[in-house]
Structure formats: structure tokens, C-alpha cells
Structure 1
Amino acid sequence: MEYRQLGKSDLSISTVGLGCWAIGGWWWGGTDVNESIAAVQKAIDVGMTFIDTAPVYGWGLGEEIVGRALEGRRDRAVIATKCGMIWDREEGELFFEDAGHRIFRCLSKENILREVEVSLRRLRTDRIDLYQCHWPDKTTPLELTMDALLTLRDQGKIRAIGVSNFTASMHAECLKHGPLHSSQPRYNMLDRK
């Protein structure tokens, strides 16, 4: 396995990572929890260190599975998760409705500070290596979003900051207020729409 530095962070990650959207189940037709745990553990055992998940993957199940899978292996993994997509309250911008849930994009400071605590519990860890804004939120200025992320970094709860699905102009705005260590566009070999 090859490894590279993630942006200008101090994180070294495998060039092949494991995306955990499907193990959350909801979008992909169900989850076999034991099989999913075994898949994450096998990825770590063969040298994949980059494990990417998000709270919205299975309404928290994806993060819970990653947390369980990494027990005893945490020091061998770089955990990436996301913030800013909520379904337990109506805040921010309505994004879509599915499986009986209304999903909102919300990158307010208050929401990010709340979400990180829940993710830390689900992931069974004291830090998130890469914390990414999942989707832009038109209701929150990016300056406030970056302030929240920098606060978490300064508290040691996250190590690096990333964005997902952001435009070039949004990247530029974020960079006015702090570093970005990663940018994750949607890319799926099976879903090419």
C-alpha cells in the first residue's frame, strides 16, 4: 500500500481508502452489521488507513459500525467523518426527503459543535482525524462554519479540516478564514449520474 500526506496536514493516509456510505444501509438496501465490521477490519489489516464515513450514512449506523470495527485498531486508522446534514430537527436548509426523514444542510457553529460530540461517541474515539463539511449550507456564512471547525481543532477534537461538494468559490471563501486540508467531490464508480 502506498501512503501520502493529506494536504498540508500532519496526516499520512493510504492512497486507497474505504468509503462507508454503503455500510450505513439506508441508501443501499440494508446492512449486515457483522459483515460490515469485518469489511472495515479487513481494510485496515491489508493496509488501508483512510476510513471515510458520515453521520447521515444510515442515520448514524455507519459511524457506529466504524467505531465498533476500529476497537483495538484505532491507532492504525485515519477516521474521516462529516458534519452538516441533520435529520433530527429542522434547522438550516431543507436538502431532501427520503425514508421518512427530512434532511437539512446546516453548518452553523452551534450545530457543528453539537454534531462532533455525537460523532465522537458513535465512533468510540476522542478525536476525529479529518472533519469535513458534507454539503454547503446557504443559510450559514462560511466564516462562521470555519470558526466552528477551528475551535474544534484548537480543542483537539479534530486534526484536519475538509469540505465535500463545495464549489471553487466556496473553497476560496473558506481559505480566507483558515486551512482546508481536503476537498472531496462526489465520485462513485457504480453511480455515475
Structure 2
Amino acid sequence: MPGIIYADESLLLDMDSKVYEQVVNVATLPGIIQASFAMPDAHWGYGFPIGGVAAFDAKQGGVVSAGGVGFDISCGVRTLYTGLRADDITPVKEKLADLLFAQVPAGVGSTGRLHLKPKEMDDMLTGGAQWAVQRGYGTAKDLSRIEEQGCMTGANPACVSDHAKKRQQDEMGTL
């Protein structure tokens, strides 16, 4: 089966070469259907690349691998409902993609535009996607399409190290 990576040239150049190797390895697993896929934010994982997607047919010896990527934290790609139909965007899809790449920082070392003070960071960690919706970065309807409504009960920012919070400062709002 083929391996397909959804990314432009600049993202491909920034990807760790181990991602390519893992996409190929997943494509050789028994029972794989169609292809081994990797999303634009793919990075090296434990077996599958994190950001990797594959479907398997159990009748053809396929596997179920909850830990294929390791301990995924649901970072990165989301599908948001827009109400637009394929016919609406087909004529402008290249322009739309260019605009998204221009507006959303992506790739290793990219920096977001949103910088939070420590208290705001803790509020974001506690509030999750609801915090983002309250600030206009999404809609209430988006929350219904995210596991746990985008917020895990009992989230405690004190459990996040200062090092991780500082790293997040630059990466907030990036892919």
C-alpha cells in the first residue's frame, strides 16, 4: 500500500525523516486498507507517526492498535464544521489553502501570535476549548465535535511543569 503525507514542501522539509520511515512501515502492516496516511502535523512516534492514520480490515489479518503512536494527547488537527459544501470551495481551494498557511503558523520552530500571562495560561489549561470559544477562537457548536467537549474534568494546571508552560508560550496557536 502507498504512504501519503498531507503537507506542503516546507512542512515536508521540516519533518523528521523517521516520520517517512514510520509511514512506510505502517503501509506494510497486514490488512491495511487503501494507504498509510500522515497529517500535516505528523511527527515521530513509537510505531506509527503521531498524526498518522490507517484503517485495517480484521478479516484480512488487520490490527487494532490503540498505542500505535504512543500516548497521543490529541494535539494538532481538528475538523471544524463550516456549512460550506465542496462546490463552494473547489474554485477557491488553492487561495484558501494559501490564506490558511499565511495566517496559521506551522512547522517546527514556528511561533504563535497569542502570548498568555501565567494566570491566563492556567485559565486556558483549566478551561480547554471552552476558554478558546469564550475568546472568539471557535463556536459553541465546535465543542460538540471535540471529545470531552474540549475540556477534561479535573484538569489541574499545577500538574503541568513550568518548562512545559514556557514551551507552550511560543507554540500557542500553531500547527
TM norm structure 2: 0.29
Larger radius of gyration: 2
Q: Please state which structure has a larger fraction of its residues in helix.
A: 2
Q: Please state which structure has a larger fraction of its residues in strand.
A: 1
TM norm structure 1: 0.27
